[in-house]
Amino acid sequence: DGLTKYDINKAGFFYFKNIDGAIKFCLEKYGNNANIAVVTMGGGSYIYK
């Protein structure tokens, strides 16, 4: 809570409206062996590579 889009981008996080979008993005960008975590915050999903 209280994070700005700047903070999120600086930390290497990407914002998605739902978890399916986050997972799809990761698989397409990083492949099946991607080392990622998906975290939900305030109703939005965030991924970290």
Task: Give SS3 for 4.
Answer: coil
* pTM for this prediction: 0.48
- The two tokens of residue 6 are 């700047």
8 Å CB contact between 37 and 49: no
Q: Which of these, 30, 28, 31, 24, lies nearest to 45 by C-alpha position? A: 24
Please write the tens of the pLDDT for every residue from 2-29: 667 777 667 667 777 777 888 888 788 8
Euclidean distance between CA atoms 32 and 35, whole angstroms: 9
pLDDT surpasses 60 at 1: no
Name the residue ranges covered by the structural domains of the chain. Answer: 5-41
> Looking at residue 28, what is its pLDDT?
87
Neighbours of 29 (CB within 10 A): 12
Confidence of residue 46 (pLDDT cuts 50, 70, 90): low
The DSSP symbol for 18 reads S
